[in-house]
Amino acid sequence: MSLTDMKFKVLPTERPFTGPEMAQHWAYKNFGLCGDSIVAFRGRFEVPPESWTDLDAVVHGKDFFFADMLNFIVEHFDSGIREAVMRQYILVSILEEKMLHRMECAECRLVRLGDDLFDADNRLSITACSITPVSTKLYLGVYLDPSPKNGIQGLKFYNLKALDLAELVINQYRAEMRRLEEKSWRTKPIF
C-alpha cells in the first residue's frame, strides 16, 4: 500500500484507549481502513501497566496519569521499529507545530523532548511504538484536562478543540508521509 493512499478517520464519539488498538489491522477490522492508516479519537487512557510497550516505563515503574486524552493510532506496513520511532518523532513534532500556531498563551513554552511534548515541567503527551508480525504501530496520546498536581498540562488550557486539532495533525502527517515516499522515488543513487 502506498503511503500516498494512507487512510484516516477521526471518530466523532468518545471511546477509551485500552490497548487492543495497538494490534495489527485494528483500523481495518474496526473501520475498514485497509493499509497504512491513522485514527484519532477522544477517550480515557486505560491501558494497564502490564500491557505497556515501553519497557523502560515498566522496568523503572514509571506511572502515567490515566485521564481523558486525544488519542492517535498509526499503522504502517512498510517499516521496521527504527523507522517507526522516527515517524513517531515526526508525529509529535507536527502536534507541537500545530499547537504553537494556534495557542494564545504568551507564557507557554512547548518543548519536544524525544517523543513527548511538554510545557515547562508539565507533560502534554504520552507515546508508544511497537511492532507486530506485519506492521509497526504508533500511539500518541495528548492530555485534554490540565492537572498541575500530577505534572500534566492539557489542551483545554490552551483553548484548543481536540478533534479540530486531530484533523490538522492527521492531514499534516499524511502529507509528510507522502513527501517522504515521493522523495525516495525521485532520489538518484550515487554510483
Q: Which domains are present in the chain? A: 3-185 (3.30.930.10)
pLDDT at 64: 59
Closest to 16 in 3D by CA, of 42, 37, 38, 40? 42
Q: What are phi and psi of 131, to 5 degrees?
A: -130, 140
Residue 172, classified by CB atoms within 10 Å of its CB into exposed (0-12), middle (13-18) or buried (19+), is middle
Give residue for cell 486539532: 165
pLDDT at 18 over 70: yes
pLDDT at 148: 85
Which range is most confident: 61-65, 74-78, 104-108, 145-149?
A: 74-78
CB 137, CB 130: distance < 8 Å? yes
pLDDT at 60 over 50: no
Cβ neighbours around 180 below 10 Å, total: 15
- Cα 133 to Cα 142: distance, rounded to the nearest angstrom: 27
Residue 173, classified by CB atoms within 10 Å of its CB into exposed (0-12), middle (13-18) or buried (19+), is buried
Pick 80 or 190 by higher pLDDT: 80
- Cα 124 to Cα 154: distance, rounded to the nearest angstrom: 6
Q: Who's near 75: CB < 8 A, 6+ residues apart?
A: 24, 25, 26, 27, 36, 37, 38, 135, 136, 137, 138
CB 31, CB 21: distance < 8 Å? no
Query: Which DSSP state fits 147?
Result: B
**In DSSP terms, which residues pair with 37 in a beta bridge?**
7, 75
pLDDT at 63 over 70: no
pLDDT at 36: 96
pLDDT at 57: 46
Q: What is the mean pLDDT of the chain?
A: 87
Q: What are phi and psi of 6, to 5 degrees?
A: -55, 125
pLDDT tens-place string over residues 115-140: 899 998 899 999 999 999 999 999 99
